Amino acid sequence: MDLNLAVLIDGDNIPSAYVKEMMEEIAKYGNPTIKRIYGDWTNPRLNKWKTVLLENAITPIQQYGYTQGKNATDSAMIIDAMDILYSGKVNGFCLVSSDSDFTRLATRLREAGMQVFGIGEKKTPDPFIVACDKFIYIEILKNQSQDDTTGADEEKSKPKTEFDKITSKQLRLIATTISDLADDDGWAFLGDVGSLLQKKQPNFDSRNYGFQKLTPLFQSIKAIEVERRQDSRGHKKLVYVKMKEQKRSRGKK
């Protein structure tokens, strides 16, 4: 069943440059039936947003900054989120912000059985990231948009320097996840591995490392063996992964 999503955007905290790509990304996960953006629209700093709101059918919600140093936008967005939750009109939320103040909101929505997606910049604090079911970095959408404009002839399977690299910590996470799902021979279905990785680390995304899909990402990691198998009907190939056995150093038992 397709999710009906409430998309709530913190206008004070998110750049407007890639709103089109952001809405296209959100559409992958469900139908954005409610789209609202919060901010003080008397502030010239939000002028760039005004040009894209109509194009993307996003409703601006006015929230004056009554007290200097206090973020009234956050409070308005949280109150609206709870009203929407109790209305029963949606079964998922997309919270667009890089602000850790929404951590408790994301947690509360998930406690109510909602699926919660987060979108924000890489500076987003970890507590908000892990409070979501899935967290997507805006920088990914930015890089994707640039790839689309530079042409399809470029080699897209190779990570660029601006992308993250797989660290030893990330490799351990992948290895333990494969181990959690592996059969007696050490093989695990890649689809299950991807789903479990997402649960363990909501911001795990192959695009962070310069790959559009998990398969080429795993193929680029020397410690992982990748195998394609025909399904029982022979209609499509299923991808399985396995950690390669480490060779013992000489002189060690």
pLDDT 10s digits, 103-151 = 999 999 999 999 999 999 999 999 999 999 999 999 888 776 565 554 4
Report the Cα–Cα distance between both ends of the chain, in Å, rounded. 54
β-strands 30-39, 3-10 pairing: parallel
Q: Which listed CATH number (3.30.420.610, 3.40.220.10, 3.40.50.300, 3.40.50.720) goes with 168-243? A: 3.30.420.610
Q: Are 131 and 107 in contact (CB under 8 A)?
A: yes
Across residues 63-89, what is the average pLDDT?
Answer: 80
In sign, the C-alpha dihedral spanning 73, 71, 87, 95 is positive
- Where do the domains of the chain lie? 3-150, 168-243
| Helix segments in 95-211, DSSP class H | 103-111, 126-130, 138-150, 168-181, 190-200
The predicted pLDDT at position 189 comes to 95
User: Strand, coil or helix: what is 9?
Assistant: strand
pTM for the whole structure: 0.82
Burial of 46 (0-12, 13-18, 19+ CB in 10 A): middle
> Where do we find the tokens 């299950």?
192
| Average pLDDT score, the chain | 85
The whole-angstrom separation of Cα 13 and Cα 200 is: 26
User: Which CATH number does 3-150 carry?
Assistant: 3.40.50.1010
